[in-house]
């Protein structure tokens, strides 16, 4: 595909940093700058991080404010990353391209002519429906919950117990013209998917979501005997699209002992994803562009994953298509997903299982300690976060590769104790723009981002120099269920560390 003049200009502006570094052969031969944690940290610049972030925002404008996989903006993001890495001459780079089922859309909902804040569900069909609202019994998880009166009308369904997709299919089975799912908490639903393009339970109908506060009010009005005229308009597209991972491996270093760092390049359809996960992607991109200045013992590989928001698709595709002997060459995997949340916490994946009783493969405890040591050395508090496999490290856990990483929080609430440790506001989401259109540059906590990038530099430099503490040898899968075995619906539970599909 032909690149635009503006794209080339942006890429070349950043490539000047990379091209100024010694070429791989020179570094290997001369070893003029041995890699150290302190030296790599010293090169981290808020200016450069923000410059990349602003470029990602510009890319999102090509696709109406999103960088979702399969969009023009995401393709530009991928090309930008590969162009910069290629310019260094320090990496063997490749695009791993494959098709996956893409879905994007929007929903507009009104009640008695008043517009309500609404969200669309991935894989939901298009449609324009005007009909009365009919309340569904219980939580709409059984066909018997749908009264005969719902035929030809818009089913109003409360979130809970079963998947959004099942509720929507059962509404179609009851011959509803459309469905509105309202949250089981006052706020809006952070994001959602029907999980697959169809279900045996019934045909999908146009569907959108509203907040629990709006839903409860509508239910109360209907219970009082009032008729509520609803309007539901959904514009959507669902189709196979090609998408790519970017893989870059240093030309120097021991290829039998690879230090791997990764983050995902896509956003949700609802926003540009500059924290989620522009922040993690840019962290590893920035460090990858600094490494050509150094010499080190172990090869370093960077994975820029596609379609994480659709269920760890890119990382799973990479790992499952990697021969076992190549998997064995990966000594450790480091994941960086959301590392600049505005109301941040310094969270480290609980590799030793001491906090959440979910232990990673042998060596994951050492990764956790490496990050803990970094923050302790800076007189900063850190805290564990659940090592559940719900981000791109999950497929690496599946094949027994020691893993770890950093996270600054998403839609969870910061506690009073955490506010004492890190500042910010107790009782407020770590990221109030999580999976929203407002996840732009102004949503980034830049000091936290710089600190986490330096922590990433510390871990990468530490393991590139020595794998002491990381066992090498036979491995076994760490989880009973791998992402590869999951359905479309089940995959959507695995995205940015948080469930978005149901319940």
HEC readout, 409-423: CCCCECCHHHHHHHC
Cis peptide before 493 (omega within 30 of 0): no
Mean pLDDT of 225-238: 97
- CA torsion 335-338-340-346 (nearest 10°) is -60
Q: Supply the mean pLDDT for the chain.
A: 91
> Hey, is 476 helix, strand or coil?
coil
d(CA 86, CA 246): 11
Whether residue 488 is predicted with pLDDT greater than 50 in this model: the reply is no
Contact 18, 292 (CB under 8 A): yes
DSSP state of 47: H
Q: Is the pLDDT of residue 492 over 80?
A: no
Correct CATH for 105-236 of 3.50.30.30, 3.40.50.720, 3.40.47.10, 3.40.50.1820: 3.50.30.30
Q: For residue 28, indicate whether it is catalytic.
A: no
Residue 377 near residue 346, CB atoms below 8 Å: no
Average pLDDT over residues 210-227: 98
Per residue in 403-420, pLDDT (tens digit) is: 999 999 998 999 999 999
- At 101-126, the pLDDT tens digits run 999 889 999 999 999 999 999 999 99
Q: Cβ neighbours of residue 314 under 8 Å, at least 6 residues apart?
A: 69, 96, 243, 245, 264, 266, 305, 306, 307, 308, 392
Q: What is the pLDDT of residue 22?
A: 41
At 183, the pLDDT band (50, 70, 90 cuts) reads very high
Q: Are strands 330-336 and 254-264 parallel, antiparallel or unpaired?
A: parallel
Per residue, what are the HEC states of 70-119?
CCHHHHHHHHHHHHHHHHHCCEEEEEEEEEEEEEEEEEEEEECCEEECCE
β-bridge partners, 305: 264
pLDDT, tens digit, for every residue of 11-57?
545 545 444 444 444 444 434 799 999 999 999 999 999 999 999 99
- Tell whether domain 9-90+251-491 is in CATH 3.30.230.70: no
Q: Judge if 9-90+251-491 and 105-236 fold alike in CATH terms.
A: no
Per-domain boundaries in the chain: 9-90+251-491, 105-236
More confident residue, 13 or 149: 149
Catalytic residue among 308, 309, 411, 451: 308
Residues forming a β-bridge with 410: none
268 vs 276: CA distance, rounded Å? 8
């Amino acid at each position: 595909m032909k690149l635009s003049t503006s794209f080339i200009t942006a890429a070349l502006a950043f490539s000047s940093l990379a091209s100024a570094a010694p070429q791989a052969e020179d570094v290997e031969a001369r070893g003029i700058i041995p890699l150290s944690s302190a030296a790599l940290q010293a090169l981290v610049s808020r200016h450069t991080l923000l410059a990349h972030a602003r470029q990602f925002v510009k890319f999102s404008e090509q696709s109406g404010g999103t960088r979702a996989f399969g969009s023009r903006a995401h393709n530009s993001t991928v090309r930008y990353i590969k162009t910069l890495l290629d310019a260094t001459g320090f990496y063997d780079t490749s695009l791993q391209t494959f098709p996956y089922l893409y879905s994007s859309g929007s929903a507009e909902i009104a009640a008695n002519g008043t517009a309500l804040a609404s969200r669309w569900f991935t894989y939901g069909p298009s449609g324009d429906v005007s009909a009365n609202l009919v309340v569904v019994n219980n939580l709409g998880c059984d066909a018997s919950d749908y009264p005969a009166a719902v035929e030809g009308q818009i089913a109003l369904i409360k979130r809970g117990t079963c998947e959004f997709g099942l509720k929507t299919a059962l509404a179609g089975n009851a011959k509803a013209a459309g469905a509105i799912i309202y949250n089981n908490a006052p706020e809006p639903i952070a994001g959602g998917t029907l999980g697959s393009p169809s279900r045996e339970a019934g045909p999908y109908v146009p569907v959108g979501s509203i907040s629990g506060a709006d839903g409860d009010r509508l239910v109360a009005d209907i219970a009082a005997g009032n008729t509520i005229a609803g309007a539901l308009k959904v514009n959507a597209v669902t189709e196979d699209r090609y998408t790519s991972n970017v893989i870059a491996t240093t030309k120097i270093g021991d290829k039998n002992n690879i230090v791997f760092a990764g983050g995902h390049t896509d956003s949700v359809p609802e926003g540009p994803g500059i924290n989620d996960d522009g922040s993690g992607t840019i962290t590893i991109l920035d460090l990858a562009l600094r490494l050509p200045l150094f010499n080190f013992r172990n090869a370093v590989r960077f994975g820029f994953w596609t379609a994480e928001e659709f269920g760890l698709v890119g990382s799973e595709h990479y790992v499952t298509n990697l021969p076992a002997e190549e998997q064995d060459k990966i000594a450790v995997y480091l994941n960086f997903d959301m590392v600049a949340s505005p109301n941040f916490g310094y969270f480290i994946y609980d590799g030793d299982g001491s906090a959440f009783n979910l232990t990673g493969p042998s060596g994951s405890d050492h990764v956790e300690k490496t990050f803990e040591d970094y923050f302790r050395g800076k007189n900063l508090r850190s805290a564990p976060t659940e090592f559940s496999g719900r981000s791109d490290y999950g497929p690496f856990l599946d094949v027994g590769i020691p893993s770890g990483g950093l996270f600054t929080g998403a839609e969870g609430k910061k506690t009073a104790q955490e506010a004492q440790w890190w500042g910010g506001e107790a009782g407020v989401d770590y990221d109030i723009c999580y999976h929203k259109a407002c996840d732009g540059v102004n949503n980034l906590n830049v000091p936290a981002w710089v600190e986490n990038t330096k922590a990433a530099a510390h871990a990468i430099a530490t393991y590139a120099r020595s794998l002491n503490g990381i066992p090498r040898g036979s491995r076994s899968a760490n989880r009973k269920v791998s992402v590869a075995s999951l359905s479309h619906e089940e995959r959507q539970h695995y995205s940015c560390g948080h469930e978005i599909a149901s319940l």
